[in-house]
Amino acid sequence: MLKTFSIGGVHPPDNKLAARSALTQLPPEGTVALFLGQHLGAPAEPVVNKGDKVKVGQLVAKASGFVSANIHASVSGTVKGIEAVADISGFKKPAIIIQVEGDEWMPEIDRSKNIIRDISIDSQAIIKKIADAGVVGLGGAAFPTHVKLTPPPGKKAEAIIINAAECEPYLTADHRVMLEYPEQVLIGTLLLKKALNASKAYIGIEANKPDAINLLTELIRKYNYDIAVVALKKRYPQGGEKQLIEAIAGRQVPSMSLPVDVGVVVQNVSTALAVYEATLKNKPLIENRITVTGKDAKQQVNIIVRTGTPLSKVLDAAGGIPDSVVKIVCGGPMMGKAISNIDAPAFKGGSGILLISQEDAKRKSESNCIRCAKCVQACPIGLEPYLLIKQAQRNRYDELEANKLQDCIECGCCLYSCPAHIPLLDYIRLGRAEVLKIIRTRPKT
């Protein structure tokens, strides 16, 4: 029986148009721009200067605190400078600019295709290698992985869950990772399990990826890996941490709590691959696997992209932008962000570029709320969006906090289900930002 979570959720069409497109490498050229803050936490501090020569995988910016991540050169060449560069929203952020000159790698990086199965390395050494390699969560949040693997005193992770649901419509890069790097994913999972000293490891995959489920299950049986593959019901947002933990471990994460509070740590499947490469291949996180897709896209592709590469070059590799496309989204249609600057550099957490036509981008006319409660039924957290939007519009932040707006995961289920086409998520997102700001600045007792 397929597992799933108990509250809310919606069933948008899969539209996994690029699922059969194998991963292809985009060669480095021109210049790349490496943001100093392409992860949650404090931005990294540069350790290179203008005119320095760098190789692929060389440290160029060092983590400035525990919740921070190292940045490595994704190309070889000359540092042109440290300048403000516009991100996908047009906001300028400091970045290290490197002119590409060849493709020379640091000698300690193992670029062979040989699979290393020896995981006798101890847990603290695994965490150090992950931290040194600048690995962050590749499911979207880009939270430094070594931090997740270091629970606060008194807390213990009994289980590691690998999020391979990829429930967001259109996105297929994680699916391709499982098909093309299956054993590396499994070994990365075992390394994460060992780093946490966890007793159980699970990989949760939605049932619309039967080839990945079967392949990983066969390899686990062949090598007798202590990992369980869990088939999940196709249901959005199945890949949300709280939803995934309930579906697989049967545990509910309380309000304003972390997964480790219920003995679980969740990592993305592409993060598991990055952990394998960092720990056993000495390869820093210098590239991303990005799906470029859309109903009007000229090509449906999954591309391996060096971090810092202009997104315009990624789009060119997929055939360019069709005339019918009026909106480009970084990520999927439910939680992605509109791209206003296609020359923005690729960053560690990006997983997709979605091309949307005029017909699909146009919002339907808003009408009055009819109190149908479909938004309540769809909310996977059990909130009341119709009420929250009214409180957000009136800046009633105390009431919003009392009604648990801070627990919202901004999945968009309420907006998707609303027959009146009310922009519920827009107002809720603004209200949530203010509530979280108030909570963070409140004196601790």
pLDDT tens string 13-63: 999 999 999 999 999 999 999 999 999 899 999 999 999 999 999 999 999
Contact between 268 and 299 (Cβ < 8 Å):
no
pLDDT at 107 over 80: yes
Contact between 139 and 239 (Cβ < 8 Å):
yes
pTM of the entire predicted model: 0.96
Residue 1's pLDDT band (cuts 50, 70, 90): confident
pLDDT given for residue 139 in this prediction = 85
DSSP strand E in 106-255: where?
A: 159-163, 200-206, 228-232
Q: For the chain, what is the mean pLDDT?
A: 96
Both structure tokens of 98: 């490197």
Please give the share of the chain, as a percent, with pLDDT higher than 90.
Answer: 94
- Residue-by-residue DSSP string for 137-168: -TTTT--BHHHHTSPPTT----EEEEE----S
Q: Which of 215, 276, 267 is nearest to 245 (CA)?
A: 267
pLDDT at 350 over 90: no
pLDDT tens sequence across 371-425: 999 999 999 999 999 999 999 999 999 999 999 999 999 999 999 999 999 999 9
CA distance 319 to 425: 33
Please give the share of the chain, as a percent, with pLDDT higher than 70.
Answer: 100
Sheet of strand 77-86, all strands in order from the earlier edge strand to the far edge: 31-35, 92-100, 77-86, 53-54
DSSP state letter for 136: B
CA distance 22 to 38: 26
pLDDT at 349 over 90: no
pLDDT given for residue 109 in this prediction = 98
pLDDT given for residue 429 in this prediction = 94
Question: What is the residue whose two structure tokens read 């007798």?
Answer: 224
CA distance 445 to 439: 12
pLDDT given for residue 345 in this prediction = 97
pLDDT given for residue 445 in this prediction = 64
The stretches of 282-423 forming alpha helices (DSSP H) are 311-317, 358-361, 374-378, 385-393, 397-402, 413-417
Residue 72's pLDDT band (cuts 50, 70, 90): very high
pLDDT given for residue 85 in this prediction = 97
pLDDT tens sequence across 204-259: 999 999 999 999 999 999 999 999 999 999 999 999 999 999 999 999 999 889 99
